[in-house]
Structure 1
């Protein structure tokens, strides 16, 4: 419980700047600016390629943080990094306002894997020190905008799996206090795949 509380407080502390940006966003302006993003993320933020994340319904603060991290190379991706470089703070806020206002299209989980996925998502793995995903991301995957923990429900399993693997290997390191890196480091391949599937089917 103490570890979870530390995670929450750390996330809350780093969300202040992103929150200030996101509050000034204009969804209509963001819709216009999202034309370039639509090729990968879909017109309404629901990507069809499972390797690209769904942005629809994601918390604005979180979206702003990720764009800022791509811009300043705190998070690196061959496609997103150059896309984010020319964005102003207002551009980021507008895009975040637009995508957060859209409804995520929920997915389906591989039923053969959801039992293990649900176990890890809701209860973690005490034997290996893996915290329950629900502690930060909520029982139904809606996240916690105040602490800048993203919504997960309906996200493509392939994308979630890839991000957990990036955290586990340390390729992605823009998580506050190494929260996700520490959690993913204790997860097996089977647990990562199962959790990703379970998240895809969350309603």
Structure 2
């Protein structure tokens, strides 16, 4: 009798776990869905200060998540805690899952700016030399066009202040906040006009 009860319990547990796994989709998707509360369904951020991550490059997402986990990148306490709760393999799976989604440009209204002066500024600093294909980037270089403007400005200001170390972004120390605002508006709108 004890053996049959144990057998039935094992069968029940196996069936329950299998049903739970089947209902939840693959592990990467279930793990990545924890990000949707802030970043929106499939990473299409509806907010001004939360980045679009759906369609972003997996290499870049993984790099940022690992930097957050290792406390090497200044960001919100929430993001550092979230990244710290995952293994490196899970962070890689999350990165790949979101990279596989379609990019959705930010719909947040941008500030007015002088287009010709801003285009000259972006050309002068060769932004699209690294963020190739008109700001879509590749590999560890992120897509910047169509990104949430508040987030993009926040990151650029951190580069300007030297809070995120980067030789490539050191030029921002000489760029005014007004110019950064114009660059952000232009880059956000450029994504919408692809």
Q: Which bin holds the TM-score, normalised by the shorter protein?
A: 0.7 to 0.9
Number of residue pairs matched by the alignment: 164
Partner of 2:74: helix, strand, or coil? coil
Q: Kindly name which structure, 1 or 2, has the bigger radius of gyration based on alpha carbons.
A: 2
Superposed CA deviations along residues 173-201 of structure 1, whole A, max 9, x for unmatched, are: 3x3xx221x12111111211111111111
Partner of 1:153: helix, strand, or coil? coil
How far did 1:110 drift?
4.4
**Superposition misfits of 4+ residues, deviation over 4 angstroms:** 108-111
Aligned residue number for residue 57 of structure 1: 55
Alignment of 1:139-158 (within 5 A): 139-145=133-139, 148-158=140-150
Q: Compare the two structures and name the one with the higher helix fraction.
A: 2
Unaligned runs of 5+ in 2: 1-24
Alignment of 1:118-197 (within 5 A): 118-121=119-122, 123-124=123-124, 131-145=125-139, 148-173=140-165, 175=166, 178-180=167-169, 182-197=170-185
Superposed CA deviations along residues 138-187 of structure 1, whole A, max 9, x for unmatched, are: 24211022xx21111210111111111111112223x3xx221x121111
Unaligned runs of 5+ in 1: 1-26, 125-130
Task: Say whether 1:66 aligns with 2:64.
Answer: yes
| The 10-residue stretch of structure 1 (134-143 or 59-68) with the greater mean CA deviation from structure 2 | 134-143
Q: Distance in 2 between matches of 1:30 and 1:117?
A: 40
How far did 1:55 drift?
0.3
Q: CA RMSD in A?
A: 1.9
Structure possessing the higher relative contact order (Cα contacts under 8 Å, 6 or more residues apart): 1
How far did 1:64 drift?
0.5
Distance 1:156 1:114, change over 3 A: farther
